[in-house]
Structure 1
Amino acid sequence: MPLSPVPVPVPGGGPAVRPAAGSEFAPLLRLVRDSGLLRRRGGRYAVEIGVNALALAGVWAAVVAVGGSWWALWLAVPMALLGGRTAFIGHDAGHQQIAGGRRVNRLLGLIHGDLLLGMGYGWWNDKHNRHHAHPNHVGKDPDVEVGALVWTRAQAVDRAGFARFLTKYQAWLFFPMLLLEGLALKVASVRDLARRPAGERRVEGALLAAHAVGYVALLAWAMPPGIAVAFAVLHHALFGLHLGASFAPNHKGMDMPGDGDEHRGHLRRQVLTSRNVRGGRVTDWFLGGLNYQVEHHLFPSMPRHRLRRAQPLVRAYCARIGVPYTEAGLLDSYRQAMRHMHAVGADLRRTDRRR
C-alpha cells in the first residue's frame, strides 16, 4: 500500500482554514503570480543552455584527445551528468518554461531531446503531459502502467514467469534496472515515430538519425572498437541511472488515487501525490529542480530556477488549509519509494513461499 504523507503542522498550532469549495488553488495561484514567480527567465536559461553546450563540446573534445586509451571511459561520467542537464532543459522546454512562444520551446526541445540525446521530444512530451494531468492515477498516468515494474498489488496479481520474479524483488532490482533506462528511452522514441503525424515523424526521425549517426561516427573516429563499445555502454548506463534517480523520489510511495477521487481539485490532485526532496544547491543541481516536485506539479510552466522561492509560499498555504505537504531527505525519499515497491510484491513472495 502507498505510504501516508507526513503532514506539515499549521504554523502556530491554529486550526486549518479551508477556502470555499472549488477555490483551493485560486488564492495560491494569485499569490504566486503576484510574487512574479511565473515570469520567464530567458536570460538565465540562455546562460544555462550556452554553458551546457560548451561543456558538452569540451567533454567530446577530451574524448577525441584521449580516446585511444581506456582512461577515456572516465569521461562517460561527465558525459552522463551533462546528458542529465540536457534532458532537464528539454523537460523545461516541454513545459513552456523557457520562452514565451511554443515554437521556440519546441525547437529547444527537439535540439536537446532528439538531436543531443536521441530521445523523442514528441513522445516524451505527450507521455509527460498525461502524467501531469493525472499523477499516480492507475489507468490514466502512463508512469504507473504495467511494464517491467508494477506499482500496485492489483497489477502484481497476474504476473508470471520472469515478470513475476521481477515484481517480487523489484525494490532490490530497481536501481540496477535503471542502467538500461538510457537505451530504453531511445528504443521507445524510435518505436513511437510510427504514431507521430507525418510532419513530426519526418522532423524527429531525421534528428534521431542524425544523433545516432553522429554519436557512432564520433566514437568510431576517436576510439578503437573495443573502447568505443565499452564507452557507449557505460555512458548510457550512467545516463539512465542519473535520470532514473532524479525521477524516482517524486511520486513512488505516494497516494495513488482511483476513479472515485476524480472530484479532487487541481491542488489536492497534485500535492497529495507528490513528494519534495530536501537539500541544498547540490541537490537542486543533481535533481534538476525536480526535488521541488509539489511546486512543479502545481505550476508546471514556472521556470525551474524559481521553484525554490515558491516552496515556502506553497508549504505555508497547504498548512493553512490543512492539506498534507510531504518532504523527505534524498536517501529517505529513496527508502520510502523502495518500501512501497517492495510491498507491492509482498503477496507474490508470500504465495511462492507456501508452494
Structure 2
Amino acid sequence: MNVGLVTTPWMLFGMYMISGLGMTGIGMGVMHDALHGSYSNKNSINKWIGYSINLIGANAAVWKIQHNVLHHTYTNIEGADDDINMPFFLRFSPNTKYHSVHKFQHIYVWFFYGFLTLIWVTVKDFVRIPRYKKMGFFTEKHEAKKQLFKTVLLKVMYYSYSLIIPLIVVPLAPWLIIVAFLAMHFMTGLFISIVFQTAHVMPSSDFPMPDEEGMIHDDWSVHQLATTSNYAPNSRLFSWFIGGLNYQVEHHLLPNVCHIHYKKLSVIVSDTAEKYGIPYHTKRTFVAAILDHFRMMRSLGVKTVTA
C-alpha cells in the first residue's frame, strides 16, 4: 500500500479493503494448500509458501496443529475439533453445553465472525501455544518458548507495516486509520468464517461423540462425508477465489491434493458415495449454504437440541 498517495478517507478505506482481499486470497488460495503440503510436490516450496501466513501476522506451526491435526482428524467432535470450540456464548455443536444466551446466537454470530482474523493476529497464537504444549505438541526442548518468541516478532512485524507505519505516514486522522484497519479485518474475518463454518455447522452435519474408550466407530472417510458439506460447485470464479474450499468434502478426504483437482474429484467421490449409500452433502449456491448455516445456528440456540 503506497501510503504516500493516500490523501482521502475513501482512498484509505479502499486500500485497506484491497489489502483485506489480498489477505483473504493468501489465506485460502495459497497458504492453505501450502501448509497442507499440496501447493507443490516439493516440500521446500510448500514450506516457504506456507510461511505467507507469517507475513499476515499468524504462526504457521500453530495453524498446522489447529487445522491439519485437530480439525481434519476430529472434525465436528466436541472438545477435539478446535473449529467448533467456541466461547460460552456460541454453540456450534449439539453436544456443547446450552446457555440461555444461545437463543440469540443466529443474530449476533455474524458480528463475532468479523473479529476472527483480528483475534487471530492479536491473541489466538499466544493462547494456543501453551495449550497445545499441554496437549502433547511442541515436545522438543524449549520449542514452545521459541514459538512464543517467534509469534511476538510476527505480531510486531505485522502491526508495524499494517497499522503503525500508516499512522505515522498517512496525512489523515489517526482514528480514521484505526477504523479502516478494523474494517479490513472485519470484512476478512466475516468472509473467512462463513466459508469454513458453512462447510461443517449445517443441518446435514453429524456431530458424533466418542464412546467410553474414546473411539468413534465410523470409518474415518465416512466420518468426513458425514460431517462436511460442499456448496456452489458450479461457480468457477468463486471456487478460484476461495482456493477450492467450496469442495470441502474432497478437501477433507484428500487434504494433500491441490485444490485445482477438486472439481474433477468431486464426480468420483459423489458417485462412490452414492454407490455405497453414504451421504454426500452439497448446496447449489453459497447463499443457500449461508441460509442453512443460519438455520443451524438458530436450531442450536434451542435448549431441546442436546446430545
Task: Give the TM interval when normalised to the shorter protein.
Answer: 0.7 to 0.9
> Which residues in structure 2 correspond to 1:100-139 (within 5 Å)?
100-110=41-51, 112-115=52-55, 117-129=56-68, 130-139=70-79
Instruction: Show the 5 A alignment for 1:132-211.
Output: 132-147=72-87, 148-157=89-98, 159=99, 164-165=100-101, 167-186=102-121, 187-194=123-130, 195=133, 197=143, 198-211=145-158
Q: Residues 81 and 242 of structure 1 are in contact (CA less than 8 Å); yes or no, is this contact kept in structure 2?
A: no
Counterpart of 1:330 in structure 2 is 286
Q: 2:12 aligned to 67, 72, 76, which one? A: 72
Deviations 1:13-48 (A, max 9, x none): xxxxxxxxxxxxxxxxxxxxxxxxxxxxxxxxxxxx
Output the CA distance in 2 between the equivalents of 1:319 and 1:154.
29
Q: Deviations over 1:212-238 (max 9, x none)?
A: 222223312124213211211111111
Structure 2: tracts of 5 or more residues without a match: none
2:177 matches 1:236? no
Distance in 2 (CA, whole Å) between partners of 1:212 and 1:74 is 19
- Partner residue of 1:251 out of 192, 200, 204: 200
1:85 is aligned to 25
The code of the aligned residue for 1:229 comes to I
SS across alignment from 1:136: coil
The structure whose Rg is larger is: 1
Q: Give the CA deviation at 1:68.
A: 4.4
Which residue of the partner structure matches residue 276 of structure 1? 230
- CA distance in 2 between counterparts of 1:201 and 1:107 reads 20
Contact preservation (8 Å) 1:246, 1:288:
no
What's the RMSD between the two structures over aligned residues? 2.2
Contact 1:80–1:242 under 8 Å retained in 2? no
The structure, 1 or 2, with the larger RCO (C-alpha pairs under 8 Å, 6+ apart) is 1
In the TM superposition, residue 323 of structure 1 has moved relative to its aligned partner by 0.9
Q: Secondary structure at the match of 1:285?
A: helix
Report the Cα offset of residue 188 of structure 1.
0.3
Match of 1:306 in 2: 261
Letter paired with 2:201: K
**Amino acid in structure 2 at the alignment position of 1:137:** I
Deviations 1:76-122 (A, max 9, x none): 32221111111122211110012334444233222x1122x112212
Among residues 288, 297, 306, which one is paired with 1:341 in the alignment?
A: 297
* Percent of aligned pairs sharing the same letter: 22
CA distance in 1, matches of 2:268, 2:188: 33
Residue 262 of structure 1 pairs with residue 216 of structure 2: yes
Deviations 1:264-317 (A, max 9, x none): 212201111110002311220343311000000000011011111211111111
Q: How many angstroms apart in 2 are the aligned matches of 1:341 and 1:69?
A: 36
* Distance (Å, rounded) in 1 between the aligned partners of 2:189 and 2:103: 22
- Structure 1 residue 193: deviation in Å? 4.7
More deviation, 262-271/208-217? 208-217
Q: How many residues align?
A: 281
TM-score norm. by structure 1 comes to: 0.73
Report if aligned partners of 2:117, 2:185 keep a CA contact under 8 Å in 1.
yes
Decide whether the 8 Å contact of 2:229 with 2:281 is kept in 1. yes
Deviates more, 1:280-289 or 1:338-347: 280-289
Query: What whole-Å deviation, never above 9, does each CA across 1:109-166 have from its counterpart, x for those lacking one?
Result: 22x1122x11221222111121100111112211122424112344243x3xxxx42x
